[in-house]
Structure 1
């Protein structure tokens, strides 16, 4: 079995796949997700720190990269063939939400003809997120 991992960004009218990878084992899937969490955390840290004393937007990602219990849980879920739509997420100061997800490759929505999301052009219209 192989595993599909992805990093995507979403906002009220937008969702985009930023990176994806196929991994041969849950451990390799975890490695990719940890690397992506670190990359996004570094980018979020480039923004000014919140003035109101709140934690930096990167904090959930940094905590997750060090959380060995969460890593073991994720690997266990993947070994059981589970789809984990939200491994960890962090919101940037610009309102963009960054999400890491993992699943067995056979469960990946990208394997379907088109993954549909509401288009920002109006209600009732649909547009493919990923074209093959």
Structure 2
């Protein structure tokens, strides 16, 4: 089984446990992906949003951003690393091992049938020769 993290929380706490400053850091960081909508209102991306987690300021980041905009994802991770912020994996998903392709399954099933047929054939021969 593989576990993959779907989301990260960059928490505004330094390694020493002090709040990160300035206090609007999460809005500024998320502003890099934000847009103005049709109504002229500021709208954060679904991939990076400022949040408050257990009374602490943070940024909720979807790891899908890594595939959509690798440079922005790296920028956010570098920001957290350079400022020694706590990063918490959330939204974990556990995957079972990938199932084989249909062709592999069919081949495996054919081999199983063949093996069973050979065993039954040998069993018949063995019992014919013993007179049962």
Instruction: Provide the TM-score with structure 2 as the length reference.
Output: 0.27
More helix by share: 2
